[in-house]
Structure 1
Amino acid sequence: MAPQDAWGDAQGERIPLGHLSSVTAGPSGSLLEHLHDGPDGVPVIAPPDLTEHFSVDARRVRRVPSRQAERLARFALRAGDLVVVRQGTLGRLALIGTEHTGWLYSSSCLRIRPHRDVVLPAYLAAYLTHPPVRRELLGRALPGTVPSLNSAMLNQLPVTVVPLERQRAVVEALADIDEQIRIQREMATRLEALRPSVFDELTNRWPHQ
């Protein structure tokens, strides 16, 4: 089959996520019964550790003893994995970096390990966080007091896949936008910090009657 035929038309092909990656639910809570807040052991990523910017906030991450982590090696993360919340704040995810290699993830999360010969991790992360896709994902959630997702639902989710070269172009374009967003946020933060001092200076210089 020619490469173009394999990918379908120029707009990309809709392929189930389960054909593009392996999806693995986190270990059961009983396997993580020794979670603690201390500095020793292996970190375990939970939903509160996933930020709105698709990254991991490690400041409050909990840990399990190293000996227990060895028994949970099949749940170890590596760079390029995606961790997705499956209970609670559905749809939130993080793209795992090299600094998180060997970490674990909780029972409230799912791990997506992309097949990199067909889909780039950063492209898949961008796709799954695209608002229309998030709405479709949430629409597939199991109803209940706490809506939830499972591996079967994610495996069936259709993903629009374009050739790798185009995926790289998408990732690069989004990275440029993200960098501009970061710069603008930093500028806004500096201006907010400057505002009170400007007010104080101007009022103190005001001529007294």
Structure 2
Amino acid sequence: MGIVGTFAAEGINANTALLKLYIKNMVCIRCKMVVKDELVKLGLHYALIELGEIEVIENITNEQREFLKIALLKSGLELMDDKKSVLIQKIKNAIIELVHYSEDPLAVNLSGYLSDKLHYNYTYLANLFSEVQGITIEKFFIAHKIERVKELLVYNELKLTEIAYLMHYSSVAHLSNQFKKVTGLTPSHFKQLKDKRRSMLDNL
């Protein structure tokens, strides 16, 4: 059922104004479930729940907003108001979604991807991110690529050549060099340590 259908089911027409709320650290499926539960508790209806962003159908009272803010904080989530903080979180969520939740090979131009998705000049986004976070967008992107590579190595379903292709590295050597620069280990050494730890746990 689409948004219009959802509205009809709730007795709300498709022209109803939506209130967008932005939530820090909302970067996983479990986080989305937590937000859904808290909205239901407050009797609020949503049209959309994405990573870091929700659209609520009705207006929220100050009391409801405060209750939601407190409830989310208990789960490590934060309702944001500051425009710069919201934009920083949008950048993070866009990168996390691209790296961790896309099923296609990571063959995208990062600057073009972020500009198109967030409707801001990339230079502005890059400068803002560096100023607030103390690291570049590129380093944040690389850190998440390496985390994704770790996950794929642990799953043990893909060869390193396949992982390199999926994560858009020019070669296995390129992947290995970047992996070692970030983690201090080669991919094969990392995998050996994980396999050894798993074997020890299995023998307990």
Highest relative contact order (Cα 8 Å, sep 6+), 1 or 2?
Answer: 1
TM over 0.5: no
TM-score between both structures, scaled by the size of structure 2: 0.26
TM-score between both structures, scaled by the size of structure 1: 0.25
